A and B are shown apart, each in its own frame.
Chain A
Amino acid sequence: MLLLQIESIADTLNSSEWVFPIAECFHIAAFAWSIGLIAAVDYKLLGFGIQHSKPSEVLHDTAPWTLLGLAVVLLSGPLLFLSDTRMYLHNPSFVFKMYALAAAIIFNYTIHRKVAQSDTASQGVRVVVAIVSLALWISVVFGGLFIAFA
């Protein structure tokens, strides 16, 4: 029953040749937005680029927009996925991307957020957290692109 429903969603998505590319454009623009803003916080944690403000301020300024970008990513992504669920589920890059994405989101809203909010965290902790954050999000991007090459 569920499979039938997924099939009909896929048919709807595939009925126009424009749905997939347009969803992809939204996906790309939105991930650039959200990951770029998370990177802005990471740069601050690493101690370069952004002057005149504390990590907590950069986080506070960017967080709502990061969330908006992530929302668009998480709405357009499933549309792409539903166009051909079987292909994606058998694609090792896609599976890797989903694990990396889950890890990146959880890390972002727990440890990353805590350290960025705390203006008293030591520089060592900040650097480690920023590097882990950048590495996780870059893994997500790589995983996404390699879906086409897997």
Chain B
Amino acid sequence: MLLSFAQWIQFTTFFTDLRGSANVYPIIMSLHMVGIALFGGMILMTDLRLLGWALTKRSIADVVNQFRVPKRWGLLLTATCGILMAGSKAEEYYYNAFFRTKLILFAVVIITELVFYRSVYANPAALDRAPSVPANAKLAAALSVLLWTSIACCGRGIGYIEPPLDKIHAQIHVNHAALLASRDPYSLKGQDHADVATTN
């Protein structure tokens, strides 16, 4: 079911064009990275404040509220670009163990957000009134650092798994040769992987 959905979505005109475009795809990937930069640092800063390791002179409410809006814009940019990339190679991603792990981690992030929303994120002023940062806020922050770092690493990992070429129906465009080369540190030495990409 998921596989047929992946096949359907990648063959929509929009995603077929996106996949075939030599320039748009890397630009979307770059914007994905820019998005990560724009909100990753702010997530970490918020978490470090909750853990009591940074910005301790500033109130938790200030830090949480200050980064909230910029974080959302960064997340929006990252998620949009991520969906565009995944959609254009949905079938390949379906088989990718790192992509699957990443999706599971997203589910875990959403669950932890829901669990801690009321007690931590929705009411940071209450955390300031407590004599020390409550344990559940620290737990939320530690989980956040761990999960988001793992998600970033899984995202990079996606590129290291060679797609099962015999199962993929999408035409892999020429630029994929460079992408394949970048996946494997050994192959950076030569462009001899070009034949891999053109066999499909």
Q: How far is the CB of B136 from chain A (nearest CB, A)?
A: 24
Give chain A residues whose Cβ lies under 8 Å from the Cβ of B182.
Answer: 147-149
- Interface residue? B142 (CB, 8 A): no
A144's partner among B33, B65, B185 (CB-CB below 8 A) is B33
Give chain B residues whose Cβ lies under 8 Å from the Cβ of A107.
Answer: none
Q: How far is the CA of A78 from the CA of B102 in the complex (A)?
A: 28
A49's partner among B37, B45, B66 (CB-CB below 8 A) is B66
Q: Would B69 and A36 count as touching, CB distance under 8 A?
A: no
Contact A146 to B30, CB < 8 A, known contacts A31-B37, A33-B41? yes
- Interface residue? A50 (CB, 8 A): yes
Q: Would B185 and A40 count as touching, CB distance under 8 A?
A: no
Q: How far is the CB of B95 from chain A (nearest CB, A)?
A: 19
Number of B residues with CB within 8 Å of any CB on chain A:
42
Number of A residues with CB within 8 Å of any CB on chain B:
44
Contact A52 to B45, CB < 8 A, known contacts A25-B152, A29-B40, A83-B185? no
A-B contact pairs, 29 of them (CB 8 A): A21-B157, A28-B36, A28-B152, A31-B37, A32-B37, A33-B41, A35-B38, A36-B41, A36-B42, A36-B43, A36-B45, A39-B37, A39-B42, A40-B70, A51-B62, A61-B55, A65-B45, A65-B54, A83-B188, A84-B185, A84-B189, A86-B189, A87-B188, A138-B34, A141-B34, A142-B34, A145-B33, A146-B26, A149-B26
